[in-house]
Amino acid sequence: MSIFDKLAAAKRVTVTVDPFEEPDGIAKPKWARHSCGAVWPNHEAKAHCPTCHITFGSDAAFDAHRTGPYHPAGLRACTTANALTKEGWTVTAGPEGTADIYRTPPPAVNPWGDKK
């Protein structure tokens, strides 16, 4: 077993979802649960960090909260929830008993330019 296989096995986590029926009859996940106990509405969040257990509104937000160099020994680290808030990230409080959802701050400049 390679070092990468060992690292992957050590980081493996379980996320389960509860199905529900949509009006169109297609079963879709309504709630997601991480093995750490965090629960969030699946339509609100796209990623949950297995290291710091913060839940994110997008994969890009999850990626942005990780810092440091990519390395097989796992030298990357998580930015804390307090630091994310200080950096202007928005936090949507989840319903009682569920995880808060963190989202990246809006861009400082409109990428499409000012419309007049």
Domain boundaries, the chain: 3-103
Would the pTM count as exceeding 0.75? no
Instruction: Give tens-digit pLDDT for 63-98.
Output: 999 988 877 776 788 999 999 999 999 888 877 777
The vertex-67 CA angle with 65 and 69, nearest 5°, equals 145
Distance from C-alpha of 92 to C-alpha of 103, rounded to nearest angstrom: 8
Q: What are phi and psi of 64, to 5 degrees?
A: -70, -25
Q: Give which of 60, 17, 58, 59 is closest to 39, Cα–Cα.
A: 17
Distance from C-alpha of 63 to C-alpha of 78, rounded to nearest angstrom: 10
Q: 55-56 and 101-103 as β-strands: parallel, antiparallel, unpaired?
A: parallel
Instruction: Give tens-digit pLDDT for 25-59.
Output: 555 567 777 878 788 777 777 888 988 989 898 88
Question: Cα dist. 23→27, 28, 30, 43 in Å?
Answer: 9, 11, 13, 16
